[in-house]
Amino acid sequence: MKIPAKGFTHGGKFHADDVFSTALLQILRPDIQVTRGFVVPDDFDGIVYDVGGCMFDHHSEPRECRPNGVPYAAFGLLWRLLGAQLVGEHQARLLDENYIQHNLAYGTGADAFIGSVEYLASADVKTTVNNIRAFEDGDKVFLQTIYNFAGAGEQVAFDIFRFDGDGKIAEHWDNLAALAEPNPSGHTQMDGTMEVTDLDKTEENRELVKNFLYDVMQGNNLDKTPDYFDGDAYIQHNSGIADGVSGLNAALGALAEQGISMVYDEVHMVLAEGNFVLAVSEGTFGGAPTSYYDLWRVENGKIAEHWDVMETIADQSTWQNQNGKF
């Protein structure tokens, strides 16, 4: 479709739907002139959206729906026709119609995801994405990445994507935190071992970490702690903790002295590929609801290296979707 030089959308308050729609049209045709109003002029010869009962107005009856019964927004109607012009035909089909979002700062659904991408793409400062590690476990892919969203500052993140039977992204979970200085042992939140090995030990290593979470992180059998490590050998990438089991104990002791507790109440997911295992847990840190993403590397049946991202779970009154963090 060739985008005309003029656009028309509703007047009054700005809504996410018309804002994202306008951003998409401006990206594809930067010189488009958009008029806002409540009545489309009879002689208007441009593209009309989110108003006027046109083909891109989701208020029109009968409303056009996705296969899952959810009506299209105006942006979804536009994206269905124009999205491939922006990202290519293949990429435009990457998202499942029923895409489920667990990042609580964003709306759920394919339209909301695409809209957030379009918003970032239109920002003056471009978003950068530096993937460090990538793993696969069944229908899920889990990633360790450094983001800088529209120049807001570097953040470290774990992302988990679930793919449906057609190979489309169907669900997303993540944890993000500001990039910090190296820890007392000089390690960053991202450096360290990269190679995936021991693919034949994936399930064995998953089970080891599950038991470690139960015995040690949830405090059920703390006397078993030494069994999970090779002496004091333990490479630590948490920005506030030094290497070694001794470094971990020292950090936990310092927190206890300050009256700060780190509690793992529930383990939601344990994903694994070879010598790497990612655990997604829920608990509290200093009394605040917290999401814990811990990546461990296992070597010869012992936990050898650790990366993590902790994120305080936002108050439910601020959530942009109701799918929950987990």
Q: Is the dihedral of CA 313, 319, 321, 323 positive or negative?
A: positive
pLDDT exceeds cutoff 70 at 112: yes
Q: Which helix (H) or strand (E) holds 44?
A: none
Q: CA-to-CA distance for 83 and 245, rounded, in angstroms? A: 51
Read off the tokens for 52.
């006027």
pLDDT exceeds cutoff 60 at 104: yes
Of the chain, the percentage scoring pLDDT greater than 90 comes to 72
pLDDT of residue 258: 96
pLDDT of residue 167: 83
Length of the chain (residues)? 326
Q: CA-to-CA distance for 326 and 42, rounded, in angstroms? A: 50
DSSP β-bridge partners for residue 133: 144
Q: CA-based Rg of the chain, rounded to a whole angstrom?
A: 24
Read off the tokens for 82.
């124009």
**Which residue is associated with the tokens 């107005």?**
57
pLDDT of residue 115: 76
Contact between 217 and 283 under an 8 Å Cβ cutoff? The reply is: no
Q: Is CATH 1.20.1440.230 the right assignment for the domain spanning 199-316?
A: no
Tens digits of residue pLDDT in 43-53 = 999 999 999 98
What's the start-to-end Cα distance of the chain, in Å? Answer: 40
Mean pLDDT taken over the chain:
92
pLDDT of residue 240: 96
